[in-house]
Amino acid sequence: MKAVQITSYDGPEGLSYDTIEAPIPGSGEVALDVHYAGANYVEALFADGLVPNPLPWVPGIEVSGHIRALGEGVDGLRVGDAVAALTINNGGGYGQIATTHADLVAPLPMGMDAALAAAVPSNTTTALLALEKVAHLNRGEDILVHAAAGGLGSQFGQVARVLGAGRVVGVVGSEEKRQTASDLGYDEVWLRDEVAEATRRQFDVVVDPVAGPGRLTSLGLLRLGGRLLAVGDAAQAGDQLISSNTLWFSGIGVLGFNLGALSAERPDTVGAYLRRALALVASGEIQVRVSDQVPIQDAPKVLTALRTGNTVGKTVLVHPKRSIA
Per residue, what are the HEC states of the chain?
CEEEEECCCECECCEEEEECCCCCCCCCEEEEEEEEEECCHHHHHHHHCCCCCCCCECCCCEEEEEEEEECCCCCCCCCCCEEEEECCCCCCCCECEEEEEHHHEEECCCCCCHHHHCCCCCHHHHHHHHHHHHCCCCCCCCEEECCCCEHHHHHHHHHHHHCCCCCEEEEECCHHHHHHHHHCCCCEEEEHHHHHHCCCCCEEEEEECCCCCHHHHHHCCEEEEEEEEECCCCCCCCCCCCCHHHHHHHCCEEEECCHHHHHHHCHHHHHHHHHHHHHHHHHCCCCCCEEEEEEHHHHHHHHHHHHHCCCCEEEEEECCCCCCC
pLDDT of residue 325 exceeding 50: no
Q: Is this model's pTM higher than 0.75 or not?
A: yes
Of 167 and 192, more confident: 167
Over the chain, what is the mean pLDDT? 93
Angstrom distance (rounded) from CA 101 to CA 280: 23
Comparing 36-40, 225-229, 298-302, 304-308, which segment has the lowest mean pLDDT? 304-308
- What is the average pLDDT across 174-179? 88
Average pLDDT estimate for 161-171: 97
Q: What is the mean pLDDT of residues 273-285?
A: 97
Q: Domain segments of the chain: what residues?
A: 2-119+290-318, 123-259
Superfamily of domain 2-119+290-318: Medium-chain alcohol dehydrogenases, catalytic domain (3.90.180.10)
322: confidence class by pLDDT, cuts 50, 70, 90:
low
What number is the average pLDDT over the span 85-96? 96
CATH superfamily of 123-259: NAD(P)-binding Rossmann-like Domain (3.40.50.720)
Same fold, 2-119+290-318 and 123-259: no
- CA angle, 317 as apex, 316 and 319 as ends, to 5°? 135
Cα(142)–Cα(35) distance, integer angstroms: 39
256-265: pLDDT as tens digits: 999 999 999 9
User: Comparing 127-131, 242-246, 279-283, 293-297, which segment has the lowest mean pLDDT?
Assistant: 242-246
